[in-house]
């Protein structure tokens, strides 16, 4: 009997492996055509201040494939990074975001609001990122100070001197920087202080766990005071309840993002009634 169930387990495992490898391959091939086939869209999610007023949006990528259906960025971004299609996808995200900023400016609606764009560490590795950003800013006519890049701690695995140099060139253009998902990576604090950041984003994991004497609460409070002492704006992601909102405010957090204030939406009318962009 035992032998028999072993056999079943192994073949089940094999099947699972096979289907996950197949899925990976399918996604990586389909991704090569996602931009040209018009399958990508940007969803915007509001970022608010302590009064609950929207101060900016985060742009979040959405991919709808005709056969695979809606694929989550958590599934396809790592594959796009492994196959380097993240370079063309990243350009597309940046172009769309800058076009939106320029359009809002023309329409005199939302013209005071900025957009935060997630940038993969890989986009820095090519060496031509600054040039690409300059070109996209120029061709779109977007105001650089309305653009913020969200980076992750994985950036610290790159050549740090080179990264700092690229960030400083971009800052000279007017672009600002946020460190996303802070606390989940392996950032050395010594390295962290070298990056010319403007904002620190507390990871959703700590916001999820804000119970009275929880570890999450202790960590959130520590991260918020660290950010404030470095003169950075501190924003929390994944805020879902009034309780979390109040708690984070009491800890000194300045900006907030999460389902409590609005889910990511590809329909900009959700945020701009009566206008289509
Ligand atoms: P992220 O940058 O940390 O984005 C926040 C994620 O949390 C988003 O997931 C958002 O939809 C989700 N979220 C926001 N508020 C809440 C909330 O209150 N509760 C919960 N449970 N979730 C919330 P999403 O859109 O699935 O994106 C996942 C990740 O994919 C992003 O994490 C980011 O790392 C990556 N990503 C998305 N768009 C891009 C992109 O254009 N470029 C790159 N390089 N990465 C991207
Ligand atoms: Mg982000
Ligand atoms: Mg995040
Ligand atoms: Mg996150």
Could you identify the atom of ligand 1 that is nearest to the CA of residue 260? 18
5 pLDDT above the threshold of 60: no
Q: Can you say how many angstroms the Cα of residue 245 is from the centroid of all Cα atoms in its chain?
A: 20
pLDDT attached to residue 10: 61
Could you identify the atom of ligand 1 that is nearest to the CA of residue 257? 15
CA of 177 to the centre of ligand 3 (A): 13
Task: Establish whether residue 73 lines the binding site of ligand 1, counting it when its CB lies within 6 angstroms of any ligand atom.
Answer: yes
Q: What CA–CA distance (Å, rounded) separates 177 from 171?
A: 8
Task: Establish whether residue 61 lines the binding site of ligand 1, counting it when its CB lies within 6 angstroms of any ligand atom.
Answer: yes
Task: Establish whether residue 223 lines the binding site of ligand 1, counting it when its CB lies within 6 angstroms of any ligand atom.
Answer: no
pLDDT attached to residue 1: 44
Q: What CA–CA distance (Å, rounded) separates 199 from 255?
A: 10
Q: Which ligand is nearest to the CA of 238?
A: 1
CA of 153 to the centre of ligand 3 (A): 11
* Percentage of the chain modeled with pLDDT above 90: 77
pLDDT tens, residue by residue, 21-70:
888 899 999 999 999 999 999 999 999 999 999 999 999 999 999 999 99
Lowest mean pLDDT, pick from 125-129, 209-213, 237-241, 261-265: 209-213
Nearest-CA residue for atom 13 of ligand 1: 238
The neighbourhood of ligand 2, an ion, using CB within 5 A, equals 118, 150, 180
| Residue listed under structure tokens 């969200």 | 150
Q: What is the DSSP code (8-state) at residue 123?
A: H
CA of 120 to the centre of ligand 1 (A): 13
The closest alpha carbon to 248, from 213, 206, 197, belongs to 206
Let me know: does 220 contact 236? Beta carbons within 8 Å.
yes
Let me know: does 104 contact 268? Beta carbons within 8 Å.
no
Task: Establish whether residue 181 lines the binding site of ligand 1, counting it when its CB lies within 6 angstroms of any ligand atom.
Answer: yes
- pLDDT band with cut points at 50, 70 and 90 for residue 272: low
Task: Establish whether residue 72 lines the binding site of ligand 1, counting it when its CB lies within 6 angstroms of any ligand atom.
Answer: yes
Q: What is the pTM of this model?
A: 0.92
Q: What CA–CA distance (Å, rounded) separates 94 from 72?
A: 19
CA of 201 to the centre of ligand 2 (A): 8
């Amino acid at each position: 009997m035992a032998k028999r169930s072993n056999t079943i387990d192994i073949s089940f495992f094999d099947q699972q492996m096979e289907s996950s490898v197949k899925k990976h391959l399918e996604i990586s091939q389909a991704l090569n055509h996602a931009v040209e086939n018009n399958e990508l869209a940007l969803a915007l999610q509001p970022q608010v201040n302590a009064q609950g007023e929207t101060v900016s949006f985060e742009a979040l990528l959405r991919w709808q494939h005709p056969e695979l259906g809606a694929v989550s960025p958590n599934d396809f971004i790592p594959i796009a990074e492994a196959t380097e299609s993240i370079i063309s996808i990243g350009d597309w995200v940046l172009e769309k975001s800058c076009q939106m900023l320029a359009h809002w400016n023309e329409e005199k609606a939302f013209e005071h609001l900025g957009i935060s764009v997630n940038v993969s560490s890989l986009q820095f590795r090519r060496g031509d990122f600054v040039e690409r950003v300059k070109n996209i800013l120029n061709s779109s006519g977007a105001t650089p100070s309305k653009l913020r890049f969200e980076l992750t701690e994985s950036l610290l695995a790159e050549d740090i001197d080179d990264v700092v140099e690229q960030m400083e060139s971009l800052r000279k253009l007017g672009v600002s920087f946020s460190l996303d998902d802070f606390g989940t990576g392996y950032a050395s604090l010594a390295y962290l202080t070298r990056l010319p950041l403007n904002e620190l984003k507390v990871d959703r994991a700590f916001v999820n766990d804000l119970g009275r004497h929880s570890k999450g609460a202790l960590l959130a409070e520590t991260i918020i005071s660290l950010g404030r002492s470095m003169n950075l704006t501190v924003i929390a992601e994944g805020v879902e309840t009034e309780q979390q909102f109040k708690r984070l405010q009491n800890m000194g957090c300045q900006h907030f993002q999460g389902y409590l204030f609005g889910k990511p939406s590809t329909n900009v009318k959700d945020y701009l009634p009566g206008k289509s962009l």
